[in-house]
Amino acid sequence: MDLRLAGVTDTRVLSALETVPREVFVSDPFQEHAYDNRALPIECGQTISQPLVVGLMTQYLELGLRDKVLEIGTGSGYQAAILSRVARRVYTVERHRPLLDRAEARFRQIGLSNVVTRHGDGMKGWPAQAPFTRILVTAAARQIPESLTDQLDDGGVMVLPVGDENKQWVMRVRRKSHRLATERLLAVRFVPLLGGLGESERGANGASF
């Protein structure tokens, strides 16, 4: 698929999609499909999102080189790797420890130095590092989480899917002083945003149209 024709027009986002090796983030049984425009299974019952969704959601953030980004749901690490090429620093939180360990190894493999990781409850964000100029959520919330908008800097932008298993939309949220302005951008289907830690320790990542 030509991502430009599909709506990804930001040249820096396109460059990131072209230079980050997606096959590094795809599980071995699906290597031959690494560059297909579709979501693929990864460990812990999660998925790596299709390239078009990754590109559009990254573009919706309106990133600049000085932006400090919080990502909720590290998953395979692919989305964080894309963000790292168009932002100053990426802070990413994952509730499944096995996923985070693999993502960290992949970041080292491709030499990323501006991604900071944390194993934790993504619903709580990362208060110690707040505020963030940009926040990206890679799982569907029933409603926009106040715990995350509270960590958004004035003038900041958050992009996330909102809805239930029947209907979800990617929403863009802009903070203007104490007010939040929202807009609906894209119909999608994501796994649900969950609180707490993964099952092995007692959201997640992946989407398609």
Catalytic amino acids? Answer: 49
**Rounded CA separation 51/55 (Å):** 6
| Crossing angle of helices 11-19 and 51-60, rounded to 10° | 140
**Rounded CA separation 106/25 (Å):** 7
Q: How many CB atoms lie within 10 A of CB 9?
A: 13
Instruction: Write out the two tokens for 115.
Output: 């991604």
Nearest-5° Cα angle at 115, 208 to 209: 5
**Rounded CA separation 42/26 (Å):** 7
Amino acid at residue number 179: R
Amino acid at residue number 60: Y
**Rounded CA separation 56/76 (Å):** 18
**Rounded CA separation 190/109 (Å):** 28
